[in-house]
Every structure is written in structure tokens, then in C-alpha cells.
Amino acid sequence: MDQVKKNYKTADISKAEKLMLYYAEKLTKKSYTIQKGDVEKLRTVGFSDRDIFDMNQVCAYFNYVNRISDGLGVDLEK
């Protein structure tokens, strides 16, 4: 987990895990650049459409919650 926190791209995790994290990062930072190919890559490493939908929903939810709390100046518990 420490490797993933430092840099998931160089962490000792599977290709599928790296692609999942890349997708989540792209969805978070530059969602407008997501293309069909990003979803296709997830499928090629074994993720189902439901898996991809769930990834998208979880990522979008946490982005939403973070923006609400940041926008209202809410201090989160540690």
C-alpha cells in the first residue's frame, strides 16, 4: 500500500490494478479527456462493464463528496 500511495505507476501491483488507478486518476483530474479507448483498456485486462461502472461510480462519488466538503470548508476527521 505504501508503494501505491507513493506512485501507483511504479508500485508492485498488477497491470489491471494500475489501469484501474490510471482510470480513476484521469476521471478525477481530467474527466473530459476520457475516451472509449480508456474503457476498452479496462475490458482487455478483465474488467466487466459492471466493474467499470462501479469504478466510475465510486470515483465520482468521492470526487463529489470531496468537492462539497472542500467548498464548505469542512474539516474531515483524521
pTM: 0.84
Average pLDDT for the chain: 93
Phi, psi dihedrals of residue 16, rounded to the nearest 5°: -60, -45
CATH number for the segment(s) 2-72 = 1.20.1290.10
Where exactly are the structural domains of the chain? 2-72
Residue 17: pLDDT band with limits 50, 70, 90: very high
- pLDDT tens-digit readout, 39-58: 999 999 999 999 999 999 99
DSSP the chain: -HHHHHHTTTSS--HHHHHHHHHHHHHHH-GGG--HHHHHHHHHTT--HHHHHHHHHHHHHHHHHHHHHHHHTPPPP-
